[in-house]
Structure 1
Amino acid sequence: MSTTSTCFRIDGELTIYRAAELAVAMKAALADVPGGGAFEVDLSGVTEMDSAGVQLLMSARRSAQESGRTLRVAGGSPAVAEVFQTLQLASHFDAAH
């Protein structure tokens, strides 16, 4: 298994207002990760997160798994930590805060 890791950083809102833009960028970045590699999403700069942001992360996680890659969330901001705690999602994203 490869130990190659690609980091994708999201700053600002992770909300419905940016979901389409971020989905395109994340899909392109994920495609560049070698098979067996890890796709790390850095959320330390996220200022707000809503259900569209959660859906985007879940979709990216599913896409990563389907292509033999892993998705990890790193550096969650307080806004992300609050959503993950409320929805009990940290374990779904191998979140390291």
Structure 2
Amino acid sequence: MTDAPLRRFAFDDELTIVTAAEHRERLLAALGDSHGVRLDLSGVSDLDTAGLQVLLLARDEGARLGLPVEFSEPSPAVAEVLALTRLEL
């Protein structure tokens, strides 16, 4: 494993069924081209189950590839969904 910095991946809008497919593709590409990613969730204005699936996919894909995936600065929208679902990312 290398000490290379994690690639920052920021969300700056909603993470919902409307945007999930686009974010999924960008996120998987970022993960594949890096030593791991740090997901900045501070800009997520809305999160639904499709968006939550994207975050869980990133976590699982990172584990599969042996790459770190960190979640940072969850917005109130993200924190609310995580509390409702009792998930910890």
Same fold (TM over 0.5): yes
Residue 58 (str. 1) matches residue 56 (str. 2):
yes
1:10 aligns with 11
1:46 aligns with 44
Any unmatched runs of 5+ in structure 1?
none
Alpha-carbon RMSD: 1.0
Amino acid paired to 1:80: V
User: How does 1:13-24 map onto structure 2 within 5 Å?
Assistant: 13-24=14-25
1:86 aligns with 84
Amino acid paired to 1:16: I
Q: Which runs of 4+ in 1 moved over 6 A?
A: none
2:71 aligns with 73
The structure that is strand-richer by fraction is 1
Deviation at 1:23, TM superposition (A): 0.7
- TM-score, normalised by the number of residues in structure 2: 0.92
**How many residues in Structure 1 have an aligned counterpart in Structure 2?**
88
Any unmatched runs of 5+ in structure 2?
none
Provide the rounded CA distance (Å) in 1 between the counterparts of 2:82 and 2:59: 15
- TM-score, normalised by the number of residues in structure 1: 0.85
